[in-house]
Structure 1
Amino acid sequence: MVLCVEKGNDGVPFIQLGSHQMRLDLEELNGKDKARAEDELKETPENVQEGLRHMKELVEADKELHVPHTDDAYLTKFLRPCRWNAEHAYKIMKKFYKFKVKHPKYGINITPHCVRHVFDHEVFRFMPSRANSGARVMIINVGTKWNPKEVKLEDMFRAVMVAIEIAMLEAKTQLGGVHVILDMAGLSLVHIYQFSPQLAKLILDWVQDCAPTRLKGIHVINQSFIFDVLYKMFKPFLGEKIKKCLYFHGDNRKTLIEKVGAEALTEYYGGTADIPEFPGSLFADMLFFYEKEFQEFNTYGYQTPDKEKADH
């Protein structure tokens, strides 16, 4: 069977991978997910109505912030992960967009097309299956798959930003959150030399303070002694949010499965998901259908400062 991007009756592009479909889950919550949202996120009709009302007031009052403040679906992307607390959601929204302006090298004009090569080289991958908690599973191959001459570190960071924008679109991910697996197999000094303490801090500041997602776990696998050099660079900047969800598994697949779930992962990761291998370029092809949406997303936020004021 030749793998290709198809479109369902609902117009949503997908890739059929055995019994699994790689697609964006753009439907609203229903059934068990809706009940779970009420239980975990206080998502009652009253709280939703009040959260949206207050959020609209806060955003509309911010004359420097240009976003679709009357669009309930857009505001929900920030409110749901914040349990419908408008003050908290507005705070995250401001940090999310101010980061883009302060660091335009990483945050301005990011679309699936501009980081396509990151997906083509399979440095960054999505799993078509979800974790046992309903979380989206993302895999970053920091070693073997990563050739810094072909994929710059800044582009890897930009690809993460694209991935978070994707996650923000999915109601299931707004609820279930995200698990990130960092595969360190093949990590070398060539890779480590791409980092600096300043960049390590920048990345962690964004993950900890700006990303409007429920981070359920960061799982480091296949790390060797050389990983300690990289970890020492990041460790001083780890906040409590990251520390609580950071797991070091090495080659112990059992502990990884305990956190993520066997049905979400393939045999390589110790799971039971029957997902055939597929080229990263195919996932990039699927994301291309959302290029127009990303171009619109890039019009949101705060005005870009003059180049001499921007952090390059």
Structure 2
Amino acid sequence: MTTDVTTDETNGVAADGQPIVELRGAGKSYGNVRALHGVSLAVPPGKVTCVLGDNGAGKSTLIKIISGLHQHSEGEYLIDGKPVKLGSPREALDLGIATVYQDLATVPLMPVWRNFFLGSEVTRGPWPVRRLDIATMKKTANDELRNMGIVLDDLEQPIGTLSGGQRQSVAIARAVYFGARVLILDEPTAALGVKQSGVVLKYIAAARDRGLGVIFITHNPHHAYMVGDHFTVLRLGTLELSAGRSEVSLEELTNHMAGGAELAALKHELAQVQGVAVDELPEVGDLKQSAAS
């Protein structure tokens, strides 16, 4: 793995302002199956880069490459402008790339503060009788959660008793505390209701405002458009769209996400079914034009 990177020690971002993480024509093949091909992506500090796509679009493969779980088989992967081939998620984490998966890697019956330090516990005392420094971990967890705007009444409560949005927020705060410069969020709102999704989106914006580069993986264009600065749409393993917020509207993003041409074909098929009203749907020509733009 190449690890010769130059960073600004004051804030952990690339000294010359370049993207922290960048893919250039990256792809991944599993034998004869090409799961990802020709995908370019740049993640600057203090921005939310949204990656959208339907099931099978290549989002999971993209996460695995960036997080170090799998190595890319084509193109380039750069961290702070230097090409890398990561051998494990630990190597990615050492370079400040943290991933928060849907299952959150928490232990439901353990208290919040214990989950905050899970795998990185603070200890005190001489070896071999070192013991957990519970007071320090509780205070640190409380302070860091409050710094992110997360106020919990009782850090002793099992994390499994928190709402889905609160658990996601704790996972985000944990990644920020342990030095994440790039935060990858894997479908954090997929199983949440409207209110709890709003909680998670709030803390995504908070992480961005603290200078992190955020990769927000989602299949919901409405959630993406609320916090996103740049939008990348994947379709069948290839790049369907790459555009900044000022370059694409929510309607256009939704059409790219769903596939404008496929929607046009679906409207035509629905028009043949009795009892299905399609008059208020967009015109076929409009959908095709949106998909081609």
Q: TM-score, normalised by structure 2?
A: 0.26
Q: TM-score by structure 1 length? A: 0.25
More helix by share: 1
Higher Cα radius of gyration? 2
